[in-house]
Chains A and B, each alone.
Chain A
Amino acid sequence: MAFNKEKFIKYILTVFALSSLFFLFLIFAFILIEGLPLFLKVGFKNIIFGFKWAPTKGSFGIFPMIVSSFLVTFGALIVGGPLGLSCAVYLAEYSGKRMKMLLKPALELLAGIPSVVYGFLGVIYIVPLVRNYLGGSGFSLISTSVILGVMILPTIISISFDAIMSVPRTYREGSLAMGATKWQTIYKVVIPSARSGIMAGFILGMGRAIGETMAVIMIAGNALKIPTSLLDPLRTLTGNIALELAYATGDHRLGLFSTGVVLLVIIMALNYIANFGIKKKRLK
């Protein structure tokens, strides 16, 4: 009797666990079914490398948005990467217990702030700051990068922190015993040993940045062109879907699903690199 109950629980849990896989499959199927027909009709090249987005007139080029999405993502990484890594190193190597107890919940809170709040703060503070001191409208690549850079901090910090903490204590001792200072030990031994984990943190941070929508719509300016300077407005893939879905019909609607397909592929690729590409390297 007890044995059967055990089996039953295991069975139920398996079903629940697999359901998440099922949802993922549903999302995939849904987006592909809706998004692929337009690719076949208009052609991959005309969508992915097309410069003109005029969905009501039969032009579905999303190349500027792909470029823009990558630009804000790298911008976010430039802002958030060094900041996040420094914070992770401080937390793992320098901070005392008390500081750790203060910083870790603060970071979790940072991760929990809704993105609309980030966008709001961006509009109120960052955008005017950029407009007044750097020029342009303020709704720009640089404003978006700064806000996204802050938004991806928790991801980068927590994953880099775990990677640094998992470097064996004996590596540190070996280095210190050879007369290395703490900082020498960190940058010659600890960070190189944790490199794959830190890279994974950066890439997952990129995934978060490229998928972010609300904050981006609010501060990016959403112009339909490839930005030529840090002060130019831009529109990302996510922004495109969110802005137009409400009123899109027919091929226009399908065009937005095609945007979704491209976004999905990019995010899958990033996750794949973070999970498998890097881990494999670590095993060598």
Chain B
Amino acid sequence: MDVKIRLENLKASYNEQEVLKGITIDVYKNMITGFMGPSGSGKSTIISILNRMMEFEDGIRIEGKILFDGFDLTKTISSVELRKRVGTVFAVPIPLPRSIYENIAYGPRLNRINDREKLDQIVINSLKNAFLWDEVKDRLNTSALKLSGGQQQRLCLARTLALHPEIILLDEPCSGLDPISTAKIEDALSELKKDYTIILVSNNTKQIARISDYSAFFYMGELIEYGNTEDLFTNPRIKKTDDYISGKFG
């Protein structure tokens, strides 16, 4: 198994308050890795460090190493370049106020892909891979804001796929969705891991158990337990993990 992302003693603090207290973890290639933990556990902070969206926050300090394929990209690659390799799907699906087609073509167009045929192909493939194609194929030019919440979230997944990133980060992507929409996203992710490395942040331990290959449990800025999902859920080594996955706190 190849290590795609390695965090070494990653620390972060917001305005002097420590939110990550030295995280060390290997995220494997072509796997779905679930990050779970109660709010304030630091899992979303890790996401915003990985996609460097934290640079838009004031007063954050970061220490430690972040390695992609063994390389520290902090100094060598700009945030804009990095985000083309590390795609993100946010908790609240907000498409841009444009058509379905243009939402997906947005990223490729930024990369100067303007050839209509190429764009068409990217849009079609991305929608198919996000399990959305059948529902929208007849109305690609209607506003993306008219889609249902579940469809919007899959559209956000599709527009991320259109960039052909190596890594996809999903920050509680199903928190506002109904079970059927959630199932569709989960089906899509299970297919996508063949081509991508996926990190799924979720408060829903059942979802992590269902679709992730590896699971990590965070608590108060620390990584409490990490391992193969089956092992971790059937046989947690640490009591805190057991309490969390059995729903004793959350």
**Chain A positions within 8 Å of B84 at CB level:** 178-179
B163 near A178 with CB under 8 A, answer yes
A178 near B53 with CB under 8 A, answer no
CA distance A268 to B160 in the complex (A): 47
The interface-forming segment of A29-37, A188-196, A201-209 is A188-196
**Chain A positions within 8 Å of B56 at CB level:** 176
B97 near A174 with CB under 8 A, answer no
Output the least CB separation between B168 and chain A (Å).
Answer: 11
8 Å CB contact of B110 from A174, A184, A193:
A184
**Chain B positions within 8 Å of A174 at CB level:** 90, 94-96, 156
8 Å CB contact of A178 from B81, B83, B94:
B83
Q: Is B1 an interface residue (CB 8 A)?
A: no
Q: Is B238 an interface residue (CB 8 A)?
A: no
A180 near B80 with CB under 8 A, answer yes
Decide yes or no: A176 and B97 within 8 Å by CB, A170-B90, A184-B110 being known contacts. Answer: no
B160 near A173 with CB under 8 A, answer no
In chain B, positions 75-102 with a C-beta closer than 8 Å to chain A are 80-81, 83-84, 87-88, 90, 92, 94-97
8 Å CB contact of A189 from B53, B80, B96, B160:
B96
Residue of A at shortest CB range from B95?
A: A174
A173 near B97 with CB under 8 A, answer no
Cβ contacts A159-191/B at 8 Å (1 or 0 each): 000000000101101111111110010001100
**Chain B positions within 8 Å of A189 at CB level:** 96
**Chain A positions within 8 Å of B95 at CB level:** 174
CA distance A184 to B92 in the complex (A): 22
**Chain A positions within 8 Å of B83 at CB level:** 176-179
CA distance A168 to B90 in the complex (A): 14
Q: Is B111 an interface residue (CB 8 A)?
A: yes
CA distance A175 to B87 in the complex (A): 11
CA distance A176 to B94 in the complex (A): 13
B97 near A179 with CB under 8 A, answer no
Residue of A at shortest CB range from B88?
A: A177
Q: Is B159 an interface residue (CB 8 A)?
A: yes
Interface size for A (C-beta < 8 A) is 17
Q: Is B107 an interface residue (CB 8 A)?
A: yes
Q: Is B51 an interface residue (CB 8 A)?
A: yes
**Chain B positions within 8 Å of A184 at CB level:** 110
CA distance A188 to B98 in the complex (A): 11
Decide yes or no: A178 and B90 within 8 Å by CB, A173-B53, A189-B96, A192-B97 being known contacts. Answer: no
A178 near B106 with CB under 8 A, answer yes
Interface size of B as a range = 20 to 34
A178 near B97 with CB under 8 A, answer no
B110 near A170 with CB under 8 A, answer no
In chain B, positions 83-133 with a C-beta closer than 8 Å to chain A are 83-84, 87-88, 90, 92, 94-97, 106-107, 110-111
CA distance A200 to B53 in the complex (A): 32
A176 near B53 with CB under 8 A, answer yes
A179 near B111 with CB under 8 A, answer yes
8 Å CB contact of A181 from B80, B88, B107:
B80
CA distance A152 to B186 in the complex (A): 54
Residue of A at shortest CB range from B109?
A: A188
CA distance A173 to B53 in the complex (A): 8
CA distance A192 to B88 in the complex (A): 23
CA distance A76 to B182 in the complex (A): 54
In chain B, positions 138-190 with a C-beta closer than 8 Å to chain A are 156, 159-160, 163
**Chain B positions within 8 Å of A188 at CB level:** 106
**Chain B positions within 8 Å of A192 at CB level:** 97
Residue of A at shortest CB range from B91?
A: A170
A179 near B110 with CB under 8 A, answer yes
In chain B, positions 39-71 with a C-beta closer than 8 Å to chain A are 51, 53, 56
Residue of A at shortest CB range from B92?
A: A170
A170 near B159 with CB under 8 A, answer no
Output the least CB separation between B78 and chain A (Å).
Answer: 9
8 Å CB contact of A171 from B51, B80, B96, B110:
B96
A177 near B96 with CB under 8 A, answer no
**Chain B positions within 8 Å of A181 at CB level:** 80
B94 near A168 with CB under 8 A, answer yes
A179 near B163 with CB under 8 A, answer yes
A178 near B92 with CB under 8 A, answer no
CA distance A202 to B235 in the complex (A): 65
Residue of B at shortest CB range from A168?
A: B94
Would you give 6 A-B contacts (Cβ < 8 Å), ordered by A?
Answer: A176-B53, A178-B84, A178-B160, A179-B83, A179-B107, A179-B111
Besides the contacts A178-B163, A193-B97, what 20 more A-B pairs have beta carbons closer than 8 Å? Answer: A170-B94, A174-B94, A174-B95, A177-B51, A177-B53, A177-B83, A177-B90, A177-B160, A178-B84, A178-B106, A178-B110, A178-B159, A178-B160, A179-B84, A179-B110, A179-B163, A180-B80, A180-B107, A180-B110, A184-B110
Residues of A within 8 A of B (CB): 168, 170-171, 173-181, 184, 188-189, 192-193
Top 7 A-B residue pairs of the complex, sorted by shortest distance between their CB atoms: A179-B84, A170-B94, A178-B107, A177-B88, A179-B83, A181-B80, A180-B110
